[in-house]
Amino acid sequence: MKRNPKVSVILTSYNHEHFIEDSINSILNQSFRDFELIIWDDCSTDNSWEIILSFDDPRIRSFRSEVNQCGEYQRQAIKNFANGEFIAIHHSDDLWDSTKLEKQVDFLNNNPNYIAVFTKAKIISESGDNFTEKGHHYYNVFNQPNRNRYEWLRYFFYNGNALCMPSVMFLKSVYKEIDESYGLHQLPDFSMWVQFCFLGEIYLLEEELVSFRVLDNEANWSGDRPATRIRIQFELLKILEHYRNISTMNELLLIFPEAKKFVNNNNADILYALGMIAIESEKDAQHTLFGLNLLYDALNDPVRSRNLLIHQGFDKNKFIYLTAKYDFFSYEHILNLNQTIQEKEQEILYYSRSKSWRITKPLRMMMSLVRKITNRNRFL
C-alpha cells in the first residue's frame, strides 16, 4: 500500500453484522484501486468486529473504540489517520457501485474549482430490495438537481439536508477549514455540507452510485424516532449559526434575493437582513429564534443599533413587538390547550354526577351494543 494513496475511505461501523461484509467488499471491489480503507468500529456488541478482522487486505487499517463514542470516531479517523488527498465516507450498512470512486476522482481531478462531489443514491430496504414506501422521508429526498453553492445554501436554509452521506468525496485540505464542534449527533454531515458551500462549489453526479439502506422500524441513525426528532430541533438551530459566515451583501443577495427589502445602501448590515429573513420565513421555531438572536445582537451593538434606527427605522420597540408576535415556544398554544382540557374535564365531571346521566346509563349501554351489532352485520 502506498503511504499517500489518492483516496482515504472511512468506513464507520456499528452493529451491522448482517451488512458489513458486503459493505467492505463493495469498497475492495472498486475499479479505482489507489485507496486506503480505514474501518472504525464504535464498540459494536454484535459480531461486526470479528467480521472486520476476517479481512486480509493490505489497504485496510482497522480500529475499534473501547467505549461507544456516538459517531465522534469519524472525526478522529479523518484528522489523525487519513493520508489521502480525497476523503470518501462509507457506512457499514450501505453499498457502493464498483465505479463510484473512479468517477468521483475523475471529476475532482478535472474540476479543481470544486471541493466535494456527491452522487445520487438508490434507496433499498433492509433486505436489499428496492424501497417502495413512497411516503417515507428517504424515498425521494436524495433525488436533487445540481445547484451552485449559493442555491444549495438557500435550499439547506429552507429545506434541510438532501445529500447522501455515504456518497460524498471531498478534499481533505478543505476539511481542515471545517468547524467540527462536539455535540452534533444527528446532523454532523449536514453541518459539513453547509460549511462546504461557504468554502467552494459542490457537485452532484447524476448516477446512483450508492445503495442507501433504510432499516426496518426506523433503526437508521437518523430514523424517525422520538429522541431523534427532539434532538434535531437543537442541532438545526446550531447549523443555522453557520449562516453568520455570510461575508458580503452581494453574497447575502445571491443566497437570499428576497433580503433586498431589508438592505439600505447607506447601511449594509448583513446580519440584520439575515435576521429579518429568518423571522419572516415563519418556517419553524429554530429559524425564528435564530433571527431574533441576530436582531438582539444588532440592537446591543451601539454603532449598529444607531445606524439601523437612522437607515432602517429599526429600534427597541420594533424588536419587542417581534418577540411577542412569534410564539416559537408555543407557550400560548399549550396554555390554551391545557385550559380547554380542564374545561372538558369539568364538563364530563358535571354530567357524570347528574341524575339524568345516571338514569340514562342503561340506555347508552344498549345503544352502544346495537351499534356494535349493526357494524358487525354490515361486513358479513
Q: For the segment 284-300, what is each residue's pLDDT rounded down to a tens digit?
A: 999 999 999 999 999 99
CB distance 242 to 198 below 8 Å: yes
CB distance 117 to 108 below 8 Å: yes
Q: How far is CA 186 from CA 161, 197, 211, 228, in A?
A: 11, 20, 20, 7
Distance CA 275, CA 293 (A): 8
Position 327 scores a pLDDT of 78
Position 173 scores a pLDDT of 96
* pTM for the model: 0.85
7-240 under CATH 1.10.3720.10, yes or no: no
What is the mean pLDDT of the segment spanning 140-153? 96
Q: How far is CA 38 from CA 8, 47, 90, 189, in A?
A: 7, 18, 10, 18
Percentage of the chain modeled with pLDDT above 90: 69
CB distance 86 to 7 below 8 Å: yes
**Is the pLDDT at 378 greater than 70, yes or no?**
no
CB distance 17 to 48 below 8 Å: yes
Query: 28-37, 55-64, 172-181, 270-279 — which is least confidently predicted?
Result: 172-181
Position 1 scores a pLDDT of 46
